[in-house]
Amino acid sequence: MKGIVFTEFLDMVDDTFGSFVTDSVLNDVDPPSGGVYSAVDSYPCEELIALVGTLERRVGMTMPALLRTYGRHLFGRFVVRYPELFESYHDSFSMLEGLDGAIHKEVRKLYPDAELPRFDCRRESPDRMIMVYSSLRPLADLAHGLIEGCGQHFGEVLAIDRFDDQEDELNVSTFLLRRQPM
R_g over Cα of the chain: 16
Query: pTM of this prediction?
Result: 0.92
pLDDT (tens digit, 9 = 90+) per residue, 66-81? 999 999 999 999 999 8
Q: How confident is the model at residue 33 (pLDDT cuts 50, 70, 90)?
A: confident
3-state secondary structure string, the chain?
Answer: CEHHHHHHHHHHHHHHHCHHHHHHHHHHHCCCCCCCCCCCCECCHHHHHHHHHHHHHHHCCCHHHHHHHHHHHHHHHHHHHCHHHCCCCCCHHHHHHCHHHHHHHHHHHHCCCCCCCEEEEEEEECCEEEEEEEECCCCHHHHHHHHHHHHHHCCCEEEEEEEEEEECCEEEEEEEEEEECC
Percentage of residues in the chain having pLDDT higher than 90: 71
> How far apart are alpha carbons 47 and 123 in whole angstroms?
35
pLDDT in tens, 118-137: 899 999 999 999 999 999 99
Nearest by Cα to 28 from 4, 6, 47, 9? 47
Higher pLDDT, 182 or 165: 165
